[in-house]
Structure 1
Amino acid sequence: MPHTKLVVKITVREARFVRDGLPFRGAAGEASPYNPPVRRLVGECPVPSSSAVSGSSGSGQARPGTTAALVKREIITPSIGRFTFKLQLQPRQQPLKMWKAGQHVTLDFSGELDNGWSHMRDDDPQSLNDDFVRTFTVSKPPPVGEDEVVHDGVEVEITARKHGPVTGLLWKYHIRVGLEIPVLGFGGDESFQIAKADKSRRAVFVAGGVGITPLLAQAAGLLLAGGEGSDGSKNKGLVLLWSLRAGDLELAVDTFERIQGLAKVTRLFVTGDTSAAAVTETVGKIEGLGAEAVVLGRMTQSDVSKEKGAKYYLCASVEMQALVQEWLQGEEVVSESFNY
């Protein structure tokens, strides 16, 4: 059972049900903070690091001793940061297959955060059910011209929202001290690699917040492959529909400055309080970078459905995914959530 260190098997040999056996009716209260998340069996769902087999040469599964050293931290907004890790391989280690643009890396933070077993922990009850293994989309493409395998010193970049103990550690850790995290492997469904899609169809990427990360490693290559018309018109092969909170608008600025041409194919939807002067200023900056449209409000069904016949790529929260998939019934949609 993935992400589980201890399993207790209970065998029930006999059960008797007594109607109205209790003299009272219980009222639903607050859920226990110790309730563990659902853990599915290996056969019930894919596991992030299961796309590679340990011990096979050239697989995407890291060998014992592969670590990622945190070498750079860039805080883009108060809640979103970019972190660069340098991969360190052991001598005579079997090759580690290079990741593909749009794939993710799985890291094991248990050595830094796991305090061992205890029956209860009132100060942090959820930590009892946490293996501190996290999966992040790699937001940087693999090095150009590199071989099919990772070499010592190759850098991996992730862009993440601050949420929970792992990202909290990345936010506050003193880089000079040195943080080395075991790498469990690279993985990800090939269906989310847009470059492999049918080029005769428009690709529409629908993102919510940091759901933009699978596109960050792919966008430059896609835009370059599509090119621009002789009149300088935008790339017709890719459309980005991006919903972003007002407080996170600097992520859009950072993205459009780093990936030339992406703003031209982007319709940005700004949610939350947009009345602040700082928001107005940032929106103006985004428009100056060439954004096709900046809408102060939520994405609607008409915004998404106008691209009928395209192939949709959806990366957002569970709630947004469910809503957009309902809007796109009958369309081809490839989705990925934050719940690895």
Structure 2
Amino acid sequence: MCSLAKDSILNFENDSDFDFDKLPKKITILFVSSKFVATMKSKPDQVEKVFILEEDKSRVDNQERFATGKDLIFLLADAIYRCYNKEAKAYSESGDMSSANRKKEEVNRIHSELKKTHQRFFRRDSTINTSTSTLTRVIWLKSKLEDDVEMKRLINLFDEIISSFSVFANLSDLREYLHEHETFAHIFLIIDTDYDDLVVADFHKRSNIKIVLDYRNTDRISFNQECLDIINQASTIFLATRHTSTISDNTSDLGINHRGGYSGFVRTYEENGYTYIVIPDYSGNRFYQSLGNIETDRVAGVVFPCFTSGDMLHVTGIAENIYDDEAECIMPRITLLTRIKLTGYVWIKEGLNLKLIGPEQYSPYNPPIRYLAIELEKMGKPSTVSTRNAKLIEIKKLTKLISRFTFELDEKVSFKPGGYVILDFAHLIPQTYQHMNNNNPQSLNDDYIRTWTISSSPPFNLNTNTFDATNQISCTIKHLPKGTISSLLHSQSNDEKSPLSCKFLGVGGEFTCFDNTNQPPQKLLFIAAGIGITPLLAMFEALSRTKQKTDIVVLFSGRGDEIDLLKDFISSPLVSNISMFDSTGVNTSKSLQVFNRRIQYDDLLNVADLMNRQVYLCGPTQFMIDITSWLNQTGLKSEQIKTESFFF
């Protein structure tokens, strides 16, 4: 197997010392028992990932827990495939296509050969009494928690896969064995490349455990800000419910289930002196144990853990399930939720003996955070269901993947340049139940409602110095291969006999360069990445229509033909400078500066008269975080930096 992946697997030779500290700085994958994991007080620096051999097959998920050793070669193949593809992508983005192609060739060869090895490794040939697998032995370092019964189960786990199973009770005996015996058949896998950052929960002894607040069996209580912070940071909660039997059959019991989402997926509000917790229901296994218990016995408890501080917030209350229109009145776009009226809570500081030592990774199945109707109203965002329609009347292709779609509305609407529109396509998409969809995880909890920037400007009346209402809006939308709605739109054409029609939910937005008197700043800096330029297109069109004397500098990060999105900027007298940053290195232009790299801090410092400009920033989340940080470092005031988020 080493010959299949020369620089990706490292063997321990006969004279190797079984000591992680002496290993080179490579990435190690451990295959161990769940009990062994429980004894690990800390994770060696070289160990990147721990995969668990699980005797309880009901817990096997083919990702981190394995019922048999047969999965391990598949794991190795997939791990190398993922790692090498990541390296190939990095080489490609840096312009080193030779190295990228070499890595792609290697990964395809290794992946194919390892799959063949798996087939040979476990194939039973009727003409041969033994198989290749009889050459393989397992060496197991026994943890203090593992008894003889468990070890027997582990040995049975590898039955007919290996020739022998050697167990050692301590590290010194294991080291001595490795020194004295041939170990060519014992394969220790070390992947020689970088993985993405992984979440690791470390066992952490807390030294200052104490109950900070204790409000039990009290109706009219509120959360303080510290408790709200614990709720808002939680991406994992545990919901406890109760089933009380109405007959004497001893079937009454308590139950607990996990709920998860992005941090902040659980919302809270106060009404008439009471505090409420709202938990939206997402697509799951459709067993509904907790919801069923709540229907018959309305007591519930919730634990909100904080893996960073170790704080635990225990909450009790009276729960109810709310459905359909009533649910949407509380939390728009959600048709099933659980609402808990608070009756008590206990905040325990440092009560959790686990500590997060790596960045948090979210499930790809998580839907966006859904806000309460009262929260949306405070944000000035639509919160009610609409029966108005929007009909697609024109499509204009701008790049290979980006087109401009113009919709005609049932009635005229008013909005500021840079605002957004919310459209509902749910009735156009056939919806069937799926528990899992690894090819497109986001589709499971997709409500098919989209919020897009309006990339067109409303008409401007020079006589009244106002933007008029209009019944036509345009959205510039990029086709995403796995995007259900973008794929639907990009499959349309201008000669459709029955133009596509969707529901229009509303417009809004405060991300605009125009004040209440429709006057813009004299000096502007537009910074955008990719399709994030769309609100700036609307502002630019409006500035051109109002004939205002403004000075605009544009910094745009894009790839390939996304340079075509800048066409109108290039010829405009309003724009004093345009710089495009393309890390793919494929763009050149005589009409504007093109840098074959990403935007850097110095590029902001080089903007003429930067300190007197109002900045409008839009793009991917990390892009905006980085740019905002750099802008703050330049000395710009926070009120000079405007951004927009469409996660609502």
- TM-score of the pair, normalised by structure 2: 0.40
1:268 maps to 2:579: yes
Equivalent positions of 1:189-228 (< 5 A) are: 189=510, 192-196=511-515, 202-223=523-544, 225-227=547-549
Residues 86-165 of structure 1 aligned to structure 2 (within 5 Å): 86-89=408-411, 96-115=412-431, 118=433, 120-122=435-437, 124-145=440-461, 148-150=468-470, 154-163=471-480, 164-165=483-484
Question: Contact between 1:162 and 1:171, CA under 8 Å: does it hold in 2?
Answer: yes
Q: Which moved more, 1:163-172 or 1:308-317?
A: 308-317
Out of 306, 309, 333, the residue aligned to residue 3 of structure 1 is 333
Distance 1:129 1:266, change over 3 A: farther
Aligned equivalents of 1:200, 1:178: Cα separation in 2: 40
Q: Secondary structure at the match of 2:624?
A: helix
Cα pair distance change 1:201/1:141, threshold 3 Å: closer
- Whole-angstrom CA distance in 1 between matches of 2:600 and 2:617: 15
Give the deviation of 1:199 after TM superposition: 5.5
**Aligned residue number for residue 563 of structure 2:** 249
Letter in 2 for 1:309: N
Distance of aligned partners of 1:321 and 1:32 in 2 relative to their CA distance in 1, 3 Å threshold: closer
- CA distance in 1 between counterparts of 2:523 and 2:409 reads 35
Following superposition, the deviation at residue 187 of structure 1 comes to 0.4
Q: Post-superposition shift, 1:239? A: 2.0
Aligned partners of 2:415 and 2:508 also within 8 Å:
yes
2:370 aligned with 1:39, yes or no?
Answer: yes
- Equivalent-residue separation in structure 2 for 1:241 and 1:120 (angstroms): 43
Once residues 148 and 73 of structure 1 are traced to their aligned partners in structure 2, the CA distance between those partners, rounded to angstroms, is: 23
Q: 1:251 to 1:124 in 2, by over 3 A?
A: same
Query: Does the CA-based 8 Å contact 2:459-2:469 persist in structure 1?
Result: no
Distance 1:308 1:325 in 2: 14
The one-letter amino acid paired with 1:165 is: T
1:186 aligned to 493, 507, 514, which one? 507
Instruction: Determine helix, strand or coil for the equivalent of 2:644.
Output: strand
Match of 1:24 in 2: none
1:311 maps to which residue?
614
1:186-227 residue CA offsets vs partner (Å, 9 max, x unmatched): 1001xx221228756522121111222112122144255344
| In 1: Cα distance, 2:519 partner to 2:449 partner | 35
Equivalent residues of 1:37, 1:129 under 8 A apart: no
Deviation digits for residues 225-257 of structure 1 (CA, Å, limit 9, x no counterpart): 344xxxxxxx5x32222222134222223x347
Farther-moved stretch of structure 1 (33-42 vs 205-214): 33-42
Question: Aligned equivalents of 1:273 and 1:52: distance in 2?
Answer: 39
Closer, same or farther in 2 for the Cα pair 1:225/1:246, shift >3 Å? same
Of residues 596, 612, 630 in structure 2, which corresponds to 1:296? 596
Greater Cα offset, 122-131 or 69-78: 122-131
In the alignment, which of 168, 181, 187 is matched to residue 487 of structure 2?
168
Matches within 5 A, 1:234-245: 235=550, 237-245=551-559
Change (3 A) 1:296 1:107: same
Q: Which of these two proteins has the greater Rg computed from alpha carbons?
A: 2
In structure 2, the CA distance between the partners of 1:110 and 1:76, relative to structure 1 (3 Å rule), is same
Q: Is the 8 A contact 2:580 2:594 kept in 1?
A: yes
Cα 1:294–1:47 change in 2 (3 A) is farther
Larger relative contact order (CA 8 Å, sep ≥ 6): 1
In terms of mean alpha carbon deviation, does 73-82 or 131-140 score higher? 73-82
Task: Compare the two structures and name the one with the higher strand fraction.
Answer: 2
- Residue 83 and residue 303 in structure 1: after superposition, are their counterparts in 2 closer, same or farther (change >3 A)? same
CA 1:107–1:36: 2 relative to 1, 3 Å: closer
Rounded to whole Å, the distance in 1 between the matches of 2:467 and 2:624 is 36
Task: Read off the aligned partner of 2:615 and give its amino acid letter.
Answer: Y
Q: What residue ranges of structure 1 are gaps of 5+ in the alignment?
A: 20-27, 55-61, 90-95, 228-234
- Aligned pair count? 289
Distance (whole Å) between structure 1 residues aligned to residue 618 and residue 418 of structure 2: 11
Q: Find the aligned partners of 1:134 and 1:247 in 2 and give their Cα distance.
A: 25
Inter-partner Cα distance in structure 2 for 1:31 and 1:99: 35
